[in-house]
A and B are shown apart, each in its own frame.
Chain A
Amino acid sequence: MTDLNRRDVLSLAAAGATLAFAAPGWAAAPAAPKRLVVVMLRGAVDGLNVVVPYAEDAYYEARPTIAVPRPGAEDGALALDDHFGLHPALAAAMPLWRDKQLAFVHAARPPDPTRSHFDAQLFVENGTPGKHGTADGWMNRLLAALQGPHGPTEAVAIGPVLPQILHGKLAVSNLPLGPAAAKPLAIDKPEVGGLFDRLYSANDPLGRAWREGRAARTELVAGLPQEEPPPEGGAAPANAFPAQAGRLAHLLTHDDRIRLVFASLGGWDTHVRQGNQTGQLADRLRPLGEGLATLAQGLGPAWNDTVVVVISEFGRTVRENGDGGTDHGHGNAIWLAGGKVNGGRIYGEWPGLATARLYEGRDLAVTTDYRAVLAAVTGRHLGLSDRSLAQLFPGFSPARSDLDKLLA
């Protein structure tokens, strides 16, 4: 049985669950949708060691033990231009840069200057910097602004919980993409699932979550290939992102309904011994670069209709601290990748690392509001109107900048 047939059978079997979404035309979503994948690096990745300003002595003076060496040195930065270099652990992403499908916007973040991870992440997700109480997230508002019909697998959060960025009125899905993602559950059996459908028939938050979950299982999980379980006692990979990216590519190439994807990776809060060209940070960056490359390859032609945004809540101090690490800072780099990204260049105004230019004398200043980057992506790539943009980011209107050229 082909994947498609199998899915049809399962959809039919779960008709009770899917009826609620049988909005006319939903199944006939336009082919080759434009897609946005947001990867959030929770914990504030050290952007100055990701996109390294190797041409500035101030960088090396501020970071005697953790600086990434200049291009040309052993394990040195991979030159992006005559000022910036990429962390060598991200070598897997360099072909994307050379193909002009990878770009960075440096010295960006949400405009609220908080150094609290949790507030800053909330502001990245709710799209209302400085305001805690916003009930929904900007990706759910984005979904509402896109042309319908809408369905619960149109936006997918990878992982067992639903992040703030996707909270909101429109139905969404979440699923972890571990090796056991396609493992059947007892409730997949119609005689069991049907009874639970009746239990969860109410139009309340639990009932809605139930129906969204059923849709995710019948539409998404059913399309994933069954994998051999990892060998008993075998070591789990240090970071599962490349494998997840492969499964995500499979999902996206087999299901045109998915338009928005969110994933998050942790472990970037490197206060101690973060390392330089090797070490803790390098070990976390490597699978991220490999995952991006896997996704680009796995998507094939669909890569041309995909934009990946990699974002973190804020940057880290310019100077290394007493423990070979960095503390909470301000400006950071936002990464953009995709077939139609006008890549191979660094966007944004670079404020430099001269002490007088630093925010509060210690951090990379912010010259780009992260909303301007997302506005460029949603406007140019997803065709969002200025009016819709105002719903995404209330009170924000982007000024003209070089970001207008971010997408081909």
Chain B
Amino acid sequence: MTLLFGMLSGAFPAAAAERVSDKQAIQILDRLGFGPTAADVAHVKAVGIDRYIAEQLDPASIAENPELTARLDAFGTLKLSPVQLFVEYGPLRPVNGVKPSPDEQKARRQRARIILQQAQDARVLRALDSRRQLQEVMVDFWFNHFNVFAGKGLDHLWIGAFEEQAIRPYAFGHFGDLLRATARHPAMIFYLDNAQNSAPGSKGPGGRDLGLNENYAREVMELHTLGADGGYSQDDVIALARILTGWGLARPNQKPPDGTGFLFDASRHDIAPKHFLGRDIAPAGEAEAVEALDLLARSPATAHHIAFELARYFVADQPPPALVDKLAARYLATDGDIRAILQTLFASGEFRASLGGKYKTPYRYLLSAERAAGVTVKNPRPLLNAMARLGQPLYGCQTPDGYQDTADKWLSPDATMIRAGFAVALANGNLPVGDDPAPAEMMAQPVAAAIGRGGKREPVEAAPVERLLGPVLSANTKTVVAEAPPAQRAALLLGSPDFMRR
């Protein structure tokens, strides 16, 4: 811990002597977390900004909100392994040669909706209520970096497991571990089609001819590691695809080595030597891909790409190049230690100077509005529907680039209307977020059935929201709010242009 504080000193005045303004506290909570609550502002002011950053970078040191822990405990599907999920909820297999009927398969698929719903509910409740706010921010960041889409084939079974097993444990770890965990996870293997990537000429079930599939090999370089301008060629894409042949999923008749469902199938692996990114990769079966991923994780192009993305996410849509270079150097010096890179980022002058300047994504706007309104969310469905309406359905990004977080992607005429409409509905108590969530069998209905239930809540009181957000409001907003009828004030605050930025 001493070392940590040593590195951070200089960014902000030392905690003992520091007087944190409300505005500073709000802005830090808007970057390291999903926006201010009265309690969090008080905490940041009490411990100081340096200490708050250090706490957040060490989530295990923060006692979790016990009510949240109890809520999460009820989400059983998040505790299952990919193999268990497949067995429990996957497509029915023939029994004694009798195929299941279409109706049986449909009912099975209906039942499996609980997985996506629990994953979504857990994600939103954690983002709203976790005291480990930065951890939830980093889970969102890395999930989008390694995006998988719940709507593709079997991935509706594994979407929650992917986040629990391949993203969350590594959010502050070494990038190489995160990369390997995602590369081996069934959700990624299925999403980017590596499950069937096979040596040309090898045979699949029924003697079918198999061959290469470039999808994962290309995207892992373009999106996950080197970046589109990272200096690889089409030959490198093909070489990496060959290296990755056989790196796939256990079929129902194959016994996976463990509950992850990952299986390296040597019979489908291309055994010829490969030349990848200027290096010779000797034939070594499963270990070839481990070597290639390691090569990618250690590349300066990857360091730059990750540094750029982090700086864009935490600092500015067009991040200062000097900061990106500094973070990339930190990446290379620490073998991609994410926590160390974030320490450097949060300690930088560029970070401090940028506070308040980012436009919120729909995800961030909606979460921050609930937090600022002080509404206890029991049922996250109305929030999830609003995310979808604003073009950011949770786990619903079809393409592997994930959701971006820059203003040019999200600031649109329609978005301003829908956000303001949401603010009014929230403030007036017209969002049924406070209702007890529907029982599990109800939740297995289409989303449309689960919204709009329940009655009105009490309207949100304007005065506490005004006290909380006051320090970041413009003079115009203050005037308009002061002159508005009291019943409209909370909506105006939560829908104000000031509250769209962080």
- Over the window 197-233 of chain A, the binary record of Cβ atoms lying under 8 Å from chain B Cβ atoms (1 yes, 0 no) is 0111110111101101111110000000000001011
State whether B421 touches A185 (Cβ < 8 A).
yes
**B residues 444-502 in Cβ contact with A at 8 Å:** 445-446, 448-449, 476-477, 480, 484, 488, 491-492, 495-497, 500
| Size of interface on B: residues with Cβ below 8 Å to A | 56
Chain A nearest CB from B416 CB (Å) reads: 5
Closest Cβ neighbor of A211 among chain B residues = B413
Q: Which residues of A contact B359 (CB under 8 A)?
A: 206
With an 8 A cutoff between CB atoms, is B412 at the interface?
yes
User: B425's contact among A186, A215, A328, A360, by CB below 8 Å, is which?
Assistant: A186
Q: Which residues of B contact A210 (CB under 8 A)?
A: 413, 416-417, 497
With an 8 A cutoff between CB atoms, is B415 at the interface?
yes
Report Cα–Cα, A206/B411, bound state, in Å.
7
User: A327's contact among B215, B445, B496, by CB below 8 Å, is which?
Assistant: B215
Chain B nearest CB from A63 CB (Å) reads: 13
Q: Which residues of A contact B209 (CB under 8 A)?
A: 322
With an 8 A cutoff between CB atoms, is A43 at the interface?
yes
State whether A161 touches B476 (Cβ < 8 A).
no
State whether A115 touches B218 (Cβ < 8 A).
yes
Closest Cβ neighbor of A193 among chain B residues = B420
- Over the window 171-184 of chain A, the binary record of Cβ atoms lying under 8 Å from chain B Cβ atoms (1 yes, 0 no) is 01111100000000
Say yes or no: A162-B413 contact (C-beta < 8 A), given A192-B488, A198-B480, A328-B214. yes
Report Cα–Cα, A201/B480, bound state, in Å.
11
Q: What secondary structure prevails in chain A residues at the interface with B? A: loop
| Size of interface on A: residues with Cβ below 8 Å to B | 62
User: B414's contact among A160, A201, A266, by CB below 8 Å, is which?
Assistant: A160
Complex interface: stretch among A29-37, A69-77, A116-124, A350-358: A116-124
State whether B408 touches A186 (Cβ < 8 A).
no
Say yes or no: A187-B417 contact (C-beta < 8 A), given A199-B476, A321-B211. yes
Chain A nearest CB from B365 CB (Å) reads: 12
Report Cα–Cα, A341/B390, bound state, in Å.
36
User: B407's contact among A174, A205, A266, by CB below 8 Å, is which?
Assistant: A205
- Over the window 186-212 of chain B, the binary record of Cβ atoms lying under 8 Å from chain A Cβ atoms (1 yes, 0 no) is 000000010011101000000001111
User: A233's contact among B411, B413, B445, by CB below 8 Å, is which?
Assistant: B445
Q: Which of B412, B420, B488 has the most chain A CB atoms inside 10 A of its CB? A: B412
With an 8 A cutoff between CB atoms, is A300 at the interface?
no
Q: Which residues of B contact A213 (CB under 8 A)?
A: 412-417
Report Cα–Cα, A328/B217, bound state, in Å.
12
State whether B398 touches A206 (Cβ < 8 A).
no
Report Cα–Cα, A160/B425, bound state, in Å.
19
Report Cα–Cα, A78/B326, bound state, in Å.
59
Chain B nearest CB from A227 CB (Å) reads: 14
Report Cα–Cα, A235/B445, bound state, in Å.
11
Q: Which residues of A contact B398 (CB under 8 A)?
A: 266-267
Q: Which residues of A contact B390 (CB under 8 A)?
A: 160
Closest Cβ neighbor of A360 among chain B residues = B234
Say yes or no: A162-B411 contact (C-beta < 8 A), given A192-B488, A217-B417, A271-B215. yes
Report Cα–Cα, A148/B413, bound state, in Å.
21
**A residues 129-173 in Cβ contact with B at 8 Å:** 152, 157, 159-162, 164, 167, 172-173
Report Cα–Cα, A214/B398, bound state, in Å.
30
User: A206's contact among B212, B218, B500, by CB below 8 Å, is which?
Assistant: B500
Report Cα–Cα, A386/B46, bound state, in Å.
65
User: B210's contact among A152, A215, A322, by CB below 8 Å, is which?
Assistant: A322
With an 8 A cutoff between CB atoms, is A195 at the interface?
yes
State whether A199 touches B213 (Cβ < 8 A).
no
Closest Cβ neighbor of B215 among chain A residues = A271
A-B residue pairs in contact (CB < 8 Å), sample of 8: A152-B413, A160-B418, A161-B391, A186-B420, A198-B480, A199-B477, A216-B413, A323-B211
Q: Which chain B residues have a beta carbon within 8 Å of chain A's beta carbons?
A: 193, 196-198, 200, 209-215, 218, 222, 228, 234, 237, 359, 389-391, 398-399, 401, 407-418, 420-421, 424-425, 428, 445-446, 448-449, 476-477, 480, 484, 488, 491-492, 495-497, 500
The 8 closest A-B pairs by CB, nearest first: A322-B211, A160-B391, A213-B413, A185-B421, A162-B412, A212-B413, A186-B424, A213-B417
Beyond A157-B412, A174-B414, A210-B413, 13 additional contacts (C-beta under 8 Å) are A118-B222, A162-B414, A174-B413, A185-B418, A195-B488, A199-B496, A216-B413, A233-B445, A234-B448, A271-B214, A321-B211, A322-B210, A327-B213
